[in-house]
Amino acid sequence: MITNVANYSAVDSAPNPNQWVDMMVDLPSLAPELDYIRSTMQGWLARRKPKSVLDAGCGPGVTTKELARSQVSIDKIIGMDASDRMLSYARDHNAMTNIEFQKGNIMELPFEANTFDAVRFERVLHHVERPQKALSEITRVLKPGGYIVGAESDTYQVRVHPLSELQNMAFNNAFNQGFRSEAVGRYLHEYAAKSGLMVLEHMCFSMIFHDLETIDSKFEIRRLIGESLPDNESKTMIAELDKAQEEHNFFFSIPVYIILATKQ
């Protein structure tokens, strides 16, 4: 159960680190929209034919391997993450001859300037306090003429349907406690421009989850509603959500912004 997403900022010292690894491995099966998001990003890169790519904050290496398989131009991909546990899973399950998994901090990338033809990142910047600085680091290690592709959510725009606007705001306050930069998705365009990148594509998708029990087991929706609303109101609300689920009227959505930009 995901009790505190803040643990993604320090997976190895979190209680039961494997649950954070499992959550990342399971997520595509819970949110099929990730396939669209990832294949759109891959399509953008494929047209640019990068040879060297960094997957920054690669987690369990699922996206690193997908990239290696889908892009024939790539000679070498480095999957980098701050967590040994994530990297250990990546090496055991997602190894390929042209992938190297290595430890590193996105705030201070362990690479020379102008190293990569492309840098990819996905849902990493909301776990750091200064996402603009991380994007500047990514830009530093990118070769001139190289590309970034990134996906970041805006969990302040999470929608629990059919909560009212006010109830949703109260829920979002509780839900976002664990993130360090919960709204980063909406600033991606601005941060990229401020890092000196030229933005070529900018889109927003929503990941939509329809099963209340699944989402509750991952994100503790009922507990958060209980904590964010007065007692009588939260009980009524939870009962309404249960009813909505029975009537196929429940969903939980998270917007994800994606961007393609180039270093001139």
Ligand X SMILES: C[S@@+](CC[C@H](N)C(=O)[O-])C[C@H]1O[C@@H](n2cnc3c(N)ncnc32)[C@H](O)[C@@H]1O
Q: Of the two residues 133 and 161, which places its CB atom closer to ligand X in the complex?
A: 133
CB of 213 to ligand X, least distance (A): 22
| Residue count, binding to ligand X (CB under 6 A) | 21
Q: Which residue stretch of 52-60, 170-178, 224-232, 246-254 sits at the interface with ligand X (rule: CB under 6 A)?
A: 52-60
Give residues 61-90 in contact with ligand X (rule: CB under 6 A). 62-63, 81-83, 86
Instruction: Give the DSSP per-residue string, 212-264.
Output: HHHHHHHH-HHHHHHHHS-HHHHHHHHHHHHHHHHTT--EEEEEEEEEEEEE-
- Tell me, residue by residue from 217 to 246, as one string, x for binding to ligand X by CB under 6 A and - for no binding: ------------------------------
Nearest residue to ligand X on Cβ basis: 59
Q: Of the two residues 132 and 245, which places its CB atom closer to ligand X in the complex?
A: 132
Give residues 108-167 in contact with ligand X (rule: CB under 6 A). 122-124, 127-128
Instruction: Give the DSSP per-residue string, 77-143.
Output: EEEEES-HHHHHHHHHHS--TTEEEEE-BTTB-SS-TT-EEEEEEES-GGGSS-HHHHHHHHHHHEE
Contact call for residues 2 and 19 (beta carbons, < 8 A): yes
CB of 90 to ligand X, least distance (A): 9
Q: Of the two residues 54 and 86, which places its CB atom closer to ligand X in the complex?
A: 86
Cα-atom radius of gyration of the chain, to the nearest Å? 19
Q: Which residue stretch of 54-62, 203-211, 227-235, 248-256 sits at the interface with ligand X (rule: CB under 6 A)?
A: 54-62
Does 59 sit near ligand X (CB under 6 A)?
yes
Give CA–CA dist 246/222, Å, rounded.
16
Host H or E run for residue 184:
helix 184-194
Host H or E run for residue 29:
helix 18-30
CB of 116 to ligand X, least distance (A): 15
The residues binding ligand X (CB under 6 A) are 8-9, 11, 24, 57-59, 62-63, 81-83, 86, 105-107, 122-124, 127-128
